[in-house]
Every structure is written in structure tokens, then in C-alpha cells.
Amino acid sequence: MKRLLLLISLLLCVGRASAALDPVVMQGLASDDFDGKQAAVAALAAAGDDADAQRLLKALSEDAVAVAGGRLVIVAGEQLLDPASGAPIKPAPASPESISLNNSLRQQVDGALAAVRLLSTDRGERLTAARALLADMGEGAALLPLFDKALAREQDGEIKPFLVQLAAQAALGSPDVARRLQAVRDLAGSGSPAVKALLLPLLDPANEPEEKLRLEAGTAIKAIDARLAWSDTAGQIFTGISLGSILLLAALGLAITYGVMGVINMAHGELLMVGAYSAYTMQALFRAKFPEFVDYYLLAAVPVAFFVAAAVGMLMERTVIRHLYGRPLETLLATWGLSLVLIQAARLLFGAQNVEVANPVWMSGGVQLAENLSLPWNRLIIVAFSGFVLLLVWLMMNKTRLGMFVRAVTQNRPMAGCVGVPTARIDTLAFGIGSGIAGLGGVALSQIANVGPDMGQGYIVDSFMVVVLGGVGQLAGAVWAALGLGVVTKFLEGWAGAVIAKILVLVFIIIFIQKRPQGLFALKGRFVD
């Protein structure tokens, strides 16, 4: 009976902010009863704007509250402080015994401290606290008075919806049917899976006897499901576009080399690997020589990766591929052998294990569009980077003398040679440019995937599919094919798994090429016609 009376007294204190450090609250914290401590913490949380309550909550979170001489004290180094005033206790009681908190109580104390920040005068602190509480509020019913108080004070249009949702989540445990009904209606505008999980038990008559409230909960869940479906679809589309951006960077260079020379370069994936290891090398160099600028290593890695991959590609073309023009099977086998050589070289130089290439600070985090939809900055930047590289390639192909020569050789090599185009030199330059673009793709890939000697092998088939589907030598076709394959692949992976998705995409491309062998965009020219 004494324990029950203590609990009732503490619960009454929850509604009285002025009683934050009421002796009954002190007694509840000092007791060995879990319910008493829980109600005492709830009372302190309800009085969140009281400085004494905040001091005691902070001390609880730091395990600095103890019982000494039959009274509650705050341990501050060698001193014992009075919780009500914060003043040192003299003479200090001997042998203070710390108050122990289990995980549940500690979570409640941390939640109460976070909720107290909702009353801060600093807008940024209030916004951060509201978002943190929404992400992991737990039960929250004990914090309802504090949420109501914060909601009554809040005037900011961005923070107020968060507080409405926080108060609604906490009010689901209210004994007032009207308050619970309003809470369900307020939560209907959410798009959070966690809110849906809170509402699902209300559909069961055993948990919610009020039929009107159960019907309202069902309507709210349908509205949340619609928002979740939209967010999931948008997330899959964005992931597909980011995958398509990587495929585009890998396929752009291949479209140039395959279009100009007709060479099936099986080592093209290893040029991606060369670019990725260039980024790793620049990261290691910046960490060793310029640690204060390490977050900018990626900017230096971009030109390095392009020129290193271009040099490797031009060396391959000069030493091996040039002597095999017009012999597709031998070229295919030779470039496959070159890919094995490059893989083994990477193993000797960097080891067989994957290496770490970290995202710079400015690529961390993301843009939160919905509660279950966040667009990571690294993928957003990769998409923008792919678009920038595509623009440069388009300008080169359409606005420069080199680009005109490349297009001439692609459309009709014999006639281009007859009018003075140095076809052999164009072959080398085109192969170098295509290889350099692949190196840029490797830099982008290093920010979202593991970097290892075998990383390029998973992209060579996809790159050829993009080139063949888009049309040989066609930039527009490569763009549409890369983005289309990326988005379709991600949707199929969610439906049938990664392996079946790859098979279905390959079957589609085979059927498509049977019907339209020139690809999405046919190359114009007398030779092709």
C-alpha cells in the first residue's frame, strides 16, 4: 500500500511544474522501487523549464546522483550539492551511495533531457532536439506535458509540425478518448514507418475498444502507406539514376573506342579499377603530406585518374591492340589477357584485399526529403559529376577538330583517311580519351563501392550492354541506355532479386537487338547505310 501511495503521489507531480523538486519526487528517486524512479523522472521531465529539474536530470544522466545521510545529493568531484539549490552541503554527509539506473530508466532520462531542449531559446537546438526525438522517442507518454508546453510556445513554422507529431505520438497512451482520436488524426499526415508501427496495434479491439478510433487508425495507416510507397519508389528511381551515372561513365569511353575502332576491349573494366586506385593513392598522399587538406584529395584525384588511365589505355593500344585491328576474336582474347595483367599488377602494388577510400566530409550526410527518403550527398555529387563529364565529352565531340575527326573515323574510316584524317593517331587519342573517362568512372565508383583488384569485372558486361543498346558511337543513346538500365535494374532487383534482374535485363537486350540491331539511336553515314 505504501508503494502504491508513493507512485500515485509521484504521478500527481507530473502535472505540476512547480513541484519539480518536490520532496515526494526526491523520495521516489531515492527509493529502490523502479516505478517510483520512473514516475520521479517523469515529474522532472514535465517541469522541463525549471533549472533545478534540468540540473537533476543532467546529474542523473552522468550517474552523479547519490543518497547520503538519508537525503538526495549531487556528487560534484569532492563536493556534495543540494539538488534544489545547487549549493554545496556543509558539512557533507559521509558515504554517499550512487543511485543506479537500468537501461530503461537511462533511456527515459536521456529522452527527458532531449525534450527539455525543446524549450530552448536557440532555434537550431530546438529543431535538432525535435528531429532526434522523432527518430528515437520510445514510449514518450511521460513527456506529453512537456511536449504540450513546447507546442504552446513554438511559433516557428518548421519546428511546429515536429512538435505536433511528438505530442500526438505521446498522446496515444492518454486515457482521454478524444485526445487519442486527435492524436491519430495528427499522425495521419506522417510518412514514417515508426508511426505506422505505433498505429497498427490500435486496429485490434483488444488494444483499442473504441470502434471510431480503430476506424480512424485504419484510415491513417492507409495514408501513411501511400506516402511510404511514394518514398520507396522515389528512392529506387534515385538509386537507379546513381547506378546509371556510374554505367554512363564506364560506357562513355567504351562507346568512343568501340565506335572508332570496333574493338571489344575486355580490359575496359580494369581501367575503372585504375581510376579507383588513383583516388586511393591521392588519399594516402594527402594524409601523409597534406593532412590539413585531406578532405580535398578527391579534387586532385580527378585529373590524376584521367591521365593515368589514359596513359594505360594508350599504352595498350600502341603495344597490343593496334596490331590486331580487323581481327575481333584475337582482340577480344588479347584484351582479356591484358585485364588479367592489370588485375595482377594491382594485387602486387596494393595487395589482394580491398582498400579504404573514404568520403570527404563535404560528401557526407544527405538531403532528407521524407522520413524514409534520404538522398546521400556522395550519390548526388556522382550524378552531377557524370553530367559534367558528359557535357565535356559532348563539347569535345561536336565543337573541336579532334571530335570531328573521331566522328569521321566512326562513320567511314576509309573515306576519312582519304581526305587526310590521321586515322592511326585518332585511334590512339580516342582510346586514351575513352580510357581516361573510364578512370573518372573509377573515381566516382570508389565513393560508393569497395576498391579492389577485381572491382572492374562487374561492370564490363553492363558497359557493353549500354553501348549496344544505345547505339554504337552515340552519346545520346549511351545516356538513355545507362539511365534506363540503372532504373530498371533497381526495380527488378526489388521484385526478383539481383541475379534474376540481371538475367531479365540481358534477355530484354537480346530481344531488343534482334528487332533493332542499330540500337536506340542509329548512326548516320554512308558507310553504315
Q: What is the pLDDT of residues 263-303, one digit of tens each?
A: 778 888 899 999 999 999 999 999 999 888 888 999 999 99
Which residue, 422, 416, 420, 520, is CA-closest to 468? 520
Q: How distant is the alpha carbon of residue 350 from its chain centre?
A: 28
Cell of 153: 510556445
Which residue, 473, 470, 316, is CA-closest to 393? 473
Examine the domain organization and report whether 91 and 121 are in the same domain.
Answer: no
As for how many domains the chain has, the answer is 3
Q: How far is CA 216 from CA 166, 172, 188, 202, in A?
A: 19, 13, 9, 9
Q: Considering the domain boundaries, does residue 170 fall inside one?
A: yes
Peptide bond connecting 91 to the previous residue in cis, omega within 30 degrees of 0: yes
Per-residue pLDDT for 55 more than 80? Answer: no
Cell of 487: 532504373
Q: Give the angle subtended at the CA of 122 by the CAs of 118 and 128, to the nearest 5°.
A: 55
What is d(CA 249, CA 479) in angstroms, rounded to the nearest whole number?
A: 9
The 3-state DSSP class for residue 80 equals: strand
Sheet holding 97-98, edge to edge: 79-81, 71-76, 65-68, 97-98
Examine the domain organization and report whether 96 and 128 are in the same domain.
Answer: no
The answer to whether 64 touches 39, Cβ cutoff 8 Å, is: no
Examine the domain organization and report whether 426 and 480 are in the same domain.
Answer: yes
Sort strands 79-81 and 71-76 into parallel, antiparallel or unpaired.
Answer: antiparallel
Examine the domain organization and report whether 50 and 81 are in the same domain.
Answer: yes
The answer to whether 113 touches 61, Cβ cutoff 8 Å, is: yes
Examine the domain organization and report whether 142 and 238 are in the same domain.
Answer: no
Q: Considering the domain boundaries, does residue 220 fall inside one?
A: no
pLDDT of residue 37: 74
Residue 474 per-residue DSSP state: -
Examine the domain organization and report whether 482 and 342 are in the same domain.
Answer: yes
Element housing 473 (H / E) = none
Q: Which residues contact 404 (CB under 8 A, 6 or more apart)?
A: none
pLDDT tens, 124-168? Answer: 888 888 877 777 655 566 677 778 888 888 888 888 888 888 888
Examine the domain organization and report whether 155 and 291 are in the same domain.
Answer: no
Q: Considering the domain boundaries, does residue 442 fall inside one?
A: yes
Range 106-136 burial, b when 16+ CB lie within 10 A, else e:
eebbbbbbbbbbbbeeeeeebbebbeebbee
pLDDT of residue 193: 81
Could you give the maximum distance between any two Cα atoms of the chain, in Å? 107
Task: List the domain range (segments joined by +) for residue 34.
Answer: 2-100
What is d(CA 41, CA 14) in angstroms, rounded to the nearest whole number?
A: 9
Q: Considering the domain boundaries, does residue 108 fall inside one?
A: no
pTM for the full model? 0.70
Question: Mean pLDDT highest for which of 221-230, 364-373, 476-485?
Answer: 221-230
pLDDT of residue 68: 76
Q: Give the angle subtended at the CA of 459 by the CAs of 457 and 465, to the nearest 5°.
A: 125
The stretch 186-199 carries a mean pLDDT of 81
Question: What's at 301, amino acid-wise?
Answer: A
Counting every residue, how long is the chain?
529
φ, ψ of residue 99 to 5 degrees: the values are: -85, 125
Per-residue pLDDT for 496 more than 80? Answer: no
The 3-state DSSP class for residue 100 equals: coil
Q: Considering the domain boundaries, does residue 15 fall inside one?
A: yes
pLDDT tens, 396-426? Answer: 888 888 888 888 887 777 888 888 888 888 8
The answer to whether 249 touches 386, Cβ cutoff 8 Å, is: yes
Q: Which residue has the cell 476506424?
A: 215
- List the CATH number of the domain containing 308: 1.10.3470
Pick the range with the lowest mean pLDDT from 5-19, 314-328, 357-371, 385-399: 5-19
pLDDT of residue 273: 93
- SS percent in the chain: helix, strand, coil, step 5: 70, 5, 25
Examine the domain organization and report whether 371 and 478 are in the same domain.
Answer: yes
What is d(CA 96, CA 112) in angstroms, rounded to the nearest whole number?
A: 25
Residue 78 per-residue DSSP state: T
Which residue, 49, 33, 173, 40, is CA-closest to 109? 40
Residue 355 per-residue DSSP state: B
Q: Which residue has the cell 522501487?
A: 33
pLDDT of residue 10: 40
The alpha carbon dihedral of 322, 306, 390, 380 has a sign of positive
Q: Considering the domain boundaries, does residue 106 fall inside one?
A: no
Examine the domain organization and report whether 254 and 331 are in the same domain.
Answer: yes
Q: Which of 74, 100, 126 is the last residue of a domain?
A: 100
What is d(CA 91, CA 95) in angstroms, rounded to the nearest whole number?
A: 13
Examine the domain organization and report whether 341 and 454 are in the same domain.
Answer: yes
Q: Considering the domain boundaries, does residue 23 fall inside one?
A: yes
The answer to whether 126 touches 120, Cβ cutoff 8 Å, is: yes
The answer to whether 188 touches 161, Cβ cutoff 8 Å, is: no
What is d(CA 279, CA 302) in angstroms, rounded to the nearest whole number?
A: 8
Examine the domain organization and report whether 253 and 310 are in the same domain.
Answer: yes
pLDDT of residue 474: 66
Examine the domain organization and report whether 49 and 170 are in the same domain.
Answer: no
Q: Which residue has the cell 573541336?
A: 400
Higher per-residue confidence, 66 vs 269: 269
Higher per-residue confidence, 373 vs 184: 184
- Other CB atoms within 10 A of residue 461 CB: 13
Q: Considering the domain boundaries, does residue 112 fall inside one?
A: no
Q: Which of 100, 133, 162 is the last residue of a domain?
A: 100
The stretch 25-40 carries a mean pLDDT of 71
Q: Which of 179, 209, 239 is the last residue of a domain?
A: 209
Cell of 327: 581481327
